[in-house]
A and B are shown apart, each in its own frame.
Chain A
Amino acid sequence: MKIIEVKNLTKKFGNFIAVNNISFEVEKGEIFAFLGPNGAGKSTTIKMLTTLLSPSEGELTLDGHNVKKNPNEVRHSFGIVFQDPSLDDELTAYENMEFHGVLYNVSKKIRRKRIEQLLNFVELWDRKNSLVKEFSGGMKRRLEIARGLLHHPKILFLDEPTLGLDPQTRNHMWEYLRELNEKENITIFFTTHYMEEAEKIAGRIAIIDHGNIVMSGTSDELKKNTGTDSLEEAFLKLTGKDIRKDEANTIDRMRMHRNRWRK
């Protein structure tokens, strides 16, 4: 069964095309990695999948629901860990967790149990009553991960979840996610810049650049098709040659996108 279906998805900001006519599918229970350089369109795609942004063109289906027509039903089927902060600084760590649990309708008993378990897991249990604004960047990130795991959705989106995490926490987190994936058949859709992570964890990988999916398949397929030995090399071969020249362009484009967006 296909749990995510994307058909001819396009997103334009004025004249700038952030996502250009992409199509892909994710099977239920799959671990799917979405890779690409900064500004390639990864986060824009995730925002469209999670009802935060409406697509310019194309069809999006999550768990059988049309994202544009039934955003409320769609929101029942996924959970997300955002790339940038989304905690309430004026609340304590515990309150942030509690707030999330209530919004996602996790029953009180399970909520209390999981909050304790997850805060211990990210080593923040002894700081549970501190306001989030007193936390360091890394602690906030850990709390954000813990919060994302509090409810068990059908699909879990993780937008660069491991950014800024130490290797211990990173390892821990992936173990936990794998277990969730196996035990509860939760589909995992993630983006990352760590190639070894994608190689180790993802069943299938799609590489996106300039708003287009340049290649997709298993890690082995990608390596075979590009004639390379590692995913990193394959990735660089597909997106990389002119990475330096491109970097300025990416920033320009992001700036343009931001300005357009503000109007």
Chain B
Amino acid sequence: MKTIYILWLRQLKRYFRSKSRMFGSLAQPLLFLLALGFGFGPVFAKAGQGNYIQFLVPGIIGMSIIFTSIFSGMEIIWDRQFGFLKETLVAPVSRFNIMIGRTFGGATIATMQGIIVLLLSLLAGFRPFSLVLVPLAILVMFLCSLLFTAMGTMIASNLDDMQGFQMIMNFLVMPLFFLSGAIFPLGGSGVLAVVAKFDPLSYSIDLLRHLLSNINNFTMGFDLFVLSIITLVFLGLGSYFFSKIQI
């Protein structure tokens, strides 16, 4: 337990010490929020879909979470290059515990980013549907963060350097984000709606939207069920591949 805690603490310390990273990773979601929110707002309203900011904010929270989590998971590559990974891998701590400590650290950071985006979106006119549900939404953010940090860990365990990073961004993170219904409604039976069903981020965002804006596509129970199962699967896969790392 103490070892998991110190690994978690390390991730947090690194995050708070790198102010540029903190602000840098907020810039993108804010840009999306402002450009899309105010740009498409009138169109969205004209199409009879209501207030676009209310719709968009949970999607942007999901966005900042997926980016931050996958980056945090992939920090393993840095640690490998700077040699620190060795230090943790030879310690008398099971690889599973190391992976859990790191993953919870990364997920905590991603959740904090999500909360910051939520707070900033209040300035853009977003109003949560019910304040009582906000803590629940934060729990969902954490679950979603765990999922994608574990996914990042899994990927990073199989990469030796940062060269594959751009590919991961373009072929994984971006599609996961754009196909999740973060920025548009998934209703109807088009191809997109089918594709989105295979995107774990869809369920996280749908659940957040349900809790924060009372808009939903699937039922809450179904969202939670799918999200929990996928999170467990990726935690399993992440720790499996992490335990196979050789240096």
Q: Taking beta carbons and an 8 Å cutoff, which residues of A are in contact with B?
A: 47, 50-54, 72, 75-76, 78, 80, 82, 84-91, 95, 98-100, 102-105, 131, 261-262
Interchain nearest-CB distance for A183 vs B (Å): 22
The answer to whether B13 touches A95 (Cβ under 8 A) is yes
Expressed in whole angstroms, the minimum distance between the Cβ of B102 and any Cβ of chain A is 12
**CB under 8 Å from chain A, chain B span 58-114:** 79, 82-84, 86-94
Interface of A is mostly: loop
Given contacts A53-B246, A75-B91, are A103 and B86 in contact (CB under 8 A)? no
- B86: A residues at CB distance < 8 A: 52, 82, 86
Q: Which listed residue (B14, B89, B92, B94) contacts A104, Cβ 8 A?
A: B92
Contacts of A82 in B (CB 8 A): 83, 86-87
Which chain A residues border B17 with CB–CB below 8 Å? Answer: 90, 131
Contacts of A76 in B (CB 8 A): 92
Whether A88 contacts B84 in the complex (CB less than 8 A), given A52-B246, A95-B13, comes out as yes
Q: Does B172 sit within 8 A of A, measured CB to CB?
A: no
Judged by a CB distance under 8 angstroms, whether B3 is at the interface is yes
| Distance between Cα atoms of A258 and B3 in the complex (Å) | 32
Q: Which residues of A contact B88 (CB under 8 A)?
A: 103
Residue of B nearest to A148 (CB): B87
Chain B 1-40 interface residues, beta-carbon cutoff 8 Å to A: 2-3, 6, 10, 13-14, 17-18
Which of B89, B90, B247 counts the most A-chain CB atoms under 10 A from its CB?
B90
Evaluate contact between A52 and B93: CB separation under 8 angstroms. Answer: no
Chain B stretch 196-247: residues in CB contact (< 8 A) with chain A: 246-247
- When C-beta atoms are compared, the residue in chain A nearest to B98 turns out to be A103
Other-chain contact of B10, A86, A88, A131, A262 (Cβ < 8 Å): A88
Kindly report which residue of chain B lies nearest to residue A85, judged by CB atoms: B83
Contact residues of B with A, CB < 8 Å? 2-3, 6, 10, 13-14, 17-18, 79, 82-84, 86-94, 160-161, 246-247
Chain A minimum-CB-distance residue to B243: A71
Query: Looking across the interface, which residue of chain A has its beta carbon closest to that of B3?
Result: A103
Residues of B within 8 A of A85 (CB): 82-83
- Find B93's partner among A47, A80, A103, A131 (CB 8 Å cutoff): A103
Which B-chain residue is minimally distant from A262 (CB atoms)?
B160
User: Chain A residues near B246 (CB, 8 Å)?
Assistant: 52-54
Contact of A103 (CB < 8 Å), options: B82, B83, B92, B161: B92
Collect the chain B residues with CB atoms within 8 Å of residue A54's CB: 246
Q: Which 3 A-B pairs have the closest CB atoms?
A: A86-B83, A103-B91, A76-B92
B6 x A105 contact (CB < 8 A): no
Query: How many whole Å from B187's CB to the nearest CB in chain A?
Result: 45
B10 adjacent to A91 (CB under 8 Å): yes
Query: For the complex, what is the distance from the CA of A99 to the CA of B18, rounded to whole Å?
Result: 19
**19 A–B contacts, CB within 8 A, in A order:** A52-B86, A52-B90, A52-B247, A53-B246, A75-B92, A76-B92, A80-B90, A82-B86, A86-B84, A88-B14, A88-B82, A91-B10, A91-B14, A95-B13, A99-B6, A102-B2, A103-B6, A105-B2, A262-B161
Q: Given that A52-B246, A99-B6, A99-B10 are contacting pairs, would A89 and B90 also be in contact in the complex, using a CB cutoff of 8 Å?
A: no
- Tell me the complex Cα distance, A103–B246, Å: 20
Inter-subunit contact B87/A86 (CB<8 Å): yes
What residues on A are CB-neighbors of B160 within 8 Å?
261-262
Give the residue name and chain of the B residue nearest to A74 (CB). Answer: B92
Chain B residues, Cβ within 8 Å of A89: 82
Chain B residues positioned under 8 Å from A50 (CB to CB): 90
Give bound CA distance, A142 to B94, whole Å: 28
How far is the CB of B195 from the nearest CB of chain A, in Å?
32
Q: Is the CB of B13 within 8 A of A90?
A: yes
Specify the chain B residue showing the minimal Cβ separation from A83: B83
**Chain B nearest CB, measured from A39 CB (Å):** 17
Give complex CA distance A86, B80 in Å. 9
A99: min CB distance to chain B, Å: 6
Bound CA–CA A91/B9 (angstroms): 11
**Contact between chains at B94 and A72 (CB < 8 Å):** yes
Known: A47-B247, A103-B91. A90 touches B6 (CB 8 A): no
CB distance from B79 to the nearest CB of A (A): 8
The residue in chain A whose Cβ has the minimal distance to the Cβ of B13 is A91
* Complex CA–CA separation, A57 to B247 (angstroms): 17
Cα A98 to Cα B79 in complex, Å, equals: 18
Q: Are A105 and B92 in contact (CB under 8 A)?
A: yes
B247 proximity list for chain A (CB < 8 A): 47, 52-53
**Among B14, B79, B247, residue most surrounded by chain A Cβ atoms (within 10 Å):** B247
Cα A54 to Cα B246 in complex, Å, equals: 7
A91 CA / B3 CA spacing, docked (Å): 17
